[in-house]
Structure 1
């Protein structure tokens, strides 16, 4: 990434403002010694703004950057002395959104250990499988998961919230930490919507480049007040945490997302930005909005597709502050859509940010014509390093396969049609369930919709639509089919229309297709 662009962006976002020389020198020294990992970002923030509040929990606990760093360092020393954690080990973190998760991840990295971010929605059996496959030495977990961790392998040491605090309080003084010979990595588990989640090794940034790519398109600024509602164990929530540390922002966290509590917090705290996943926006629109409108400048979402019509409906209530980042655990980011783009084309994924390459390729690796659907390949500084199982993704000319299908229109806007393995063939025709979902969510009675392919003896596959309706609303299945028939081709009309109270979702808001397929045995 070219230096003038980096400097201009950092200046625009308030990161190159003058400061006390000794603190600026200490900040740069921290990055030089500890790198750009979460631990390095916390160190640089504590060096530059030690007294600034870093994290505010929903219980009202506020920790400054220096206090947060001190706690993470004490935890690291105790994990090394008392639990035997060494460079190259793996520390699992099964926590909701609070400062304890941050401390555990940073402590692991300070020792050169890998932090494995564990999805809070995993069952006991899935958790045991993850612990074994990831060779966890320690699992740091919230007290609420005490029963779920009982089935872990015997050699995995468990650290609940009480032990977490005891380790911090009992840290030996004077045992100074030095940069490890090996950088600790972050391992994020894939969503596991269709099976067992896989561990994806995330790279450590090596410069300002990744930060600049994001904040150039999403107008976040130094010392902003940022609420992170997206789960921190998810790629998007964790990315928000990294960005917030880099900006020396104050972070507001709630253990669980609750729309009414979030609205109340936005009213009580003058938050500049909110990081969320799309389903959270739907939930926020179901409760009375705060009055007056909160002074949000940015609402940044990622993690799943924006349902049709959600973007303009949300912006009609909260203002033109919505930014949609399309990416994945494997490619980090691919494109970003801003408010103007989402007003013009509510389902667009936007354009690639600076320094990102995006291509739409066919099955032979050749570019497809403008507007034609193909496989989405992406290249940037933060492509993942492979799965912990040793599996890798297909690449072409340094670009990584996202696993999604999409197209780019004449204006250069990307549209994602869905997962390649979600596309079905019905009677010889290719059908994209996401196109039908977007249409169905435009019905005023429909709260949420999911469309999947199911076996059909005549056509090979057919569409089944699962609809959650707003309270008090009703719909006739044939009316739903007629509505789709009016707008789309006959092969896109769902033969089955099933009404459910809620769609099954994982902890990051993605619909669990495997749960829907259980309706068919």
Structure 2
């Protein structure tokens, strides 16, 4: 990434503003010594703005950057002294969004250990599998998950919230030296269709990744940011990284509650919200706020935006919506701005600076504009591979996202769905996501999912699962007629199933494996 662009973006976002010379020197020294890991980012923030509030929890408890760093260092020393954690070990973190999660992840990276961010929605059996496959030495967990940990191996050290706090409170203060190796962050894939895999996140090697994001999404130094997206997910963790880099004040809730979120956006005067699309849907079900929060940015990722949501949300909260399309493996591929979403509500936007994106056929050859093909992406933060060994397909430095999409004449990317979700019905290629987007626009429909299921005559057919708003009614034939009016006959779902709600994981993605159980 070219230096003038980096300098220009950092200047626009306030990162190059003058400061007290001794603090600026200390900030630069921290980055030189500790690099761009999460520990390094926290250290530079604490060096430059030690008294700045770093995090506020749902109870209103505040920690400054200096306090957050001190607690993280105390925990790191205690993990090493009491449990023998050292560089190269793996520490599991089974926590919701609260300061303890941040302290634990930073503590692991301070020691050069890998922090494994564990999905809070895992069953006891899945948790046991993850603990074994990731070779966890320690599992730090919230109290609510204690029962899930009972079946784990006896030699796995388990720390609940009280034990974690006791380690911090009894540890002696003191400095730590950079570890012999950098600790990695391991994020589990969503596992919507199978067992989650561990994906190793790279450590940034400079300002490039940050600049790619904040050039397109106008976040600024010392913004106040509510991170509603789960931090154990790539999007929530990326938000944490960006906030540390910007020395932002982070507001956290353990669980997403739309009313409480809206209240805290106003109470804490938040300029930004990081969320997943289903959270915006829940916010829109509340009455319009009497006092609109001072939001400049609402950044979402993790799943597709329903077609009618962007305009409705921006009509209520202003043109502040940004949609990042990416994945655990690819980090980001494109970003849609409010102007993009006003123009084309279902677009994934354009690749940010420093990102390559290509649409290719099954042989890896570029597809003409407007034609659907496999989405390949390249950037500085492509994952380093799965902890289990296998990698994703790569072509000429680009990662195959596993998604299908197209780029229109204006350069906007549209994602048609997962390559393995596309079905062939009676010889026709059908994309469930297209039908799903259409059904989500019905006023009676609260949420919709469309999947392919086996069919004895056509090979496969579409099945639509719809959850309606309370008090609304809709019949299956009316749904089919609606789709028939807008799409080709082979896109009309033969099956229409009405459910109370769609099964989702903690990041808001629909668990299609649960829907397939309707068909044995």
Name the residue aligned to 1:136: 136
What 5-or-longer segments of structure 2 have no aligned partner?
A: none
Name the residue aligned to 1:186: 185
Residues 159-182 of structure 1: per-residue CA shift (max 9 Å, x gap): 1000000100111344x3100110
Name the residue aligned to 1:228: 227
8 A Cα contact 1:267 1:290, kept in partner = no
Distance in 2 (alpha carbons) for counterparts of 1:180 and 1:149: 29
What 5-or-longer segments of structure 1 have no aligned partner?
A: none
Distance in 1 (alpha carbons) for counterparts of 2:288 and 2:73: 41
Structure 1 residue 263: deviation in Å? 1.2
Alignment of 1:166-315 (within 5 A): 166-174=166-174, 176-315=175-314
DSSP 3-state at the match of 2:4 = helix
Work out whether 1:497 is the aligned partner of 2:488: no
8 A Cα contact 2:96 2:255, kept in partner = yes
Residues 26-72 of structure 1: per-residue CA shift (max 9 Å, x gap): 00000000010111000000000000000000011100000000000
Residues 51-110 of structure 1: per-residue CA shift (max 9 Å, x gap): 000000001110000000000000000000001000000000000000000000000000
Name the residue aligned to 2:431: 432
Name the residue aligned to 2:114: 114
Alignment of 1:12-411 (within 5 A): 12-174=12-174, 176-411=175-410
Equivalent residue pairs, number: 520
Distance in 1 (alpha carbons) for counterparts of 2:184 and 2:289: 40
DSSP 3-state at the match of 1:148 = helix
Name the residue aligned to 2:518: 519
DSSP 3-state at the match of 2:32 = helix
Structure 1 residue 289: deviation in Å? 2.8
8 A Cα contact 1:36 1:204, kept in partner = yes
Residues 150-197 of structure 1: per-residue CA shift (max 9 Å, x gap): 1112221001000000100111344x3100110000000000000110
Distance in 1 (alpha carbons) for counterparts of 2:287 and 2:156: 45
Distance in 2 (alpha carbons) for counterparts of 1:257 and 1:173: 35
Structure 1 residue 308: deviation in Å? 1.3
Distance in 2 (alpha carbons) for counterparts of 1:108 and 1:221: 28
Residues 367-390 of structure 1: per-residue CA shift (max 9 Å, x gap): 000000000000000000000001
Distance in 2 (alpha carbons) for counterparts of 1:353 and 1:40: 25
Structure 1 residue 396: deviation in Å? 0.9
Query: Pairwise CA RMSD of aligned residues?
Result: 0.6
DSSP 3-state at the match of 2:149 = coil
TM-score, normalised on structure 2? 0.99
Name the residue aligned to 1:476: 475
DSSP 3-state at the match of 2:147 = coil
8 A Cα contact 1:327 1:333, kept in partner = yes
